[in-house]
């Protein structure tokens, strides 16, 4: 009888980001003009289940892994045993790769995501990366990629800082906003004082921001928060009532609404 191996783990991110919540509420597709969509039904189902990263391969045999950074991850190969691992996963990041590890008793799994693209035409738009899984000394090779929420790919205007509403009248130069471009992996916008821009990497339910330009004025709360907790940081995001929420490392929540046409 074929057996399956499931790995349950709770990743602990070294960037000190807080767990997101209700990030899967109210899922809906954005307009086709964005050219960002999951055409594969398996990917869509995985995203709706909260999966952040998915990978598969055929070396040395068929295998696949699905990881939810906030809850659990699943690994399966052709001849695996059923094993549950304790929630003690650790994450390390450097310029060449990202490494997740988990262990329980004598069993150990290490997931390595290399910052080198796989040539997979089917998922070319998803920035597929070379991926390896080492389970108890056996290395499985293949390709993987982060999933994301398609609604990110729009312009978002700051609506609340925690429970405090933000109004245009509060800003002499306009309300802060972010324009997120998932095709170019770039963000542009305004922090209430200065324009800003940077590269971004969407990692499931987290966004890794580059160093945002022109965030030197910290006299405004919005600019100070962006400069201290978004620029060059990994930030949790989720959706609530069709609004985008950033959960910052200091537990502040920035809530954004869609920019009106």
pLDDT tens-digit series, residues 103-116: 666 777 888 999 88
CATH code for the domain of 215: 2.40.128.270
Residues 222 and 116 in one domain: no
Q: Is 113 a member of any domain?
A: yes
Q: Is 4 a member of any domain?
A: no
Domain boundary among 115, 146, 177: 146
Indicate if the pLDDT at residue 5 is higher than 50.
no
Phi, psi dihedrals of residue 253, rounded to the nearest 5°:
-115, 125
pLDDT digits 0-9 by tens, 145-196: 888 888 899 999 999 999 999 998 888 889 999 999 988 899 999 998 889 9
Q: Is 53 a member of any domain?
A: yes
Residues 181 and 132 in one domain: no
pLDDT digits 0-9 by tens, 114-155: 988 887 665 555 568 999 999 888 999 999 988 888 889 999
Q: Is 1 a member of any domain?
A: no
The string over 117-129, giving b where at least 16 C-beta atoms fall within 10 Å of a residue's C-beta and e elsewhere, is ebeeeebeebbbb
Residues 168 and 141 in one domain: no
Residues 67 and 161 in one domain: no
- How many structural domains are present in the chain? 2
Between residues 189 and 94, the one the model is more confident about:
189
Instruction: Supply 215's token pair.
Output: 């965030």
Rounded to 5, what percent of the chain is helix, strand, coil? 10, 40, 45
Instruction: Supply 188's token pair.
Output: 């542009």
The string over 61-80, giving b where at least 16 C-beta atoms fall within 10 Å of a residue's C-beta and e elsewhere, is eebbbbbbbbbbbbbbbeeb
Give the chain's end-to-end CA distance (angstroms, integer). 57
Q: Is 61 a member of any domain?
A: yes
pTM: 0.71
Residue 234 and residue 210: Cα distance in Å, rounded? 9
Residue 162 and residue 16: Cα distance in Å, rounded? 19
Residues 155 and 142 in one domain: no
pLDDT of 120 reads 66
Q: Tell me which H or E stretch contains 19.
A: none
Domain boundary among 146, 175, 204: 146
Range of the domain at 156: 151-258
Residue 19, burial from CB neighbour count under 10 angstroms (0-12, 13-18, 19+): middle
CA distances from 30 to 35, 176, 181 (A): 9, 22, 13
* Average pLDDT estimate for 29-33: 41
The three-state secondary structure class of 216 is coil
């Amino acid at each position: 009888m074929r057996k399956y191996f499931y790995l349950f783990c709770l990743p602990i991110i070294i960037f000190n980001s807080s767990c997101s919540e209700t990030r899967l509420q109210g899922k809906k597709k954005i307009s086709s003009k964005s050219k960002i969509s999951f055409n594969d039904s398996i990917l869509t189902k995985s995203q709706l289940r909260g999966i952040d990263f998915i990978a598969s391969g055929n070396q040395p045999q068929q295998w696949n892994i699905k990881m939810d950074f906030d809850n659990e991850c699943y690994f399966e190969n052709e001849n695996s045993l059923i094993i549950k691992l304790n929630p003690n996963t650790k994450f390390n990041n450097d310029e060449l790769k990202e490494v997740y590890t988990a262990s329980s008793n004598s069993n150990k799994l290490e997931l390595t995501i290399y910052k080198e693209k796989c040539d997979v035409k089917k998922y070319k738009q998803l920035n597929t990366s070379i991926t390896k899984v080492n389970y108890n000394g056996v290395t499985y090779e293949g390709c993987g990629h982060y999933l994301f929420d398609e609604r990110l790919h729009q312009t978002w205007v700051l609506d609340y800082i925690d429970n405090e509403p933000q109004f245009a009248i509060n800003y002499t130069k306009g309300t802060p906003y972010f324009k997120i471009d998932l095709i170019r992996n770039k963000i542009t916008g305004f922090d209430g004082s200065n324009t800003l821009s940077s590269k971004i990497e969407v990692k499931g339910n987290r966004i890794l921001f580059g160093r945002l330009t022109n965030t030197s004025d910290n006299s405004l709360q919005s600019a100070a928060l962006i400069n201290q907790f978004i620029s060059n940081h990994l930030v949790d995001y989720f959706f609530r009532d069709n609004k985008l929420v950033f959960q910052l490392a200091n537990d502040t929540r920035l809530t954004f609404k869609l920019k009106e046409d």
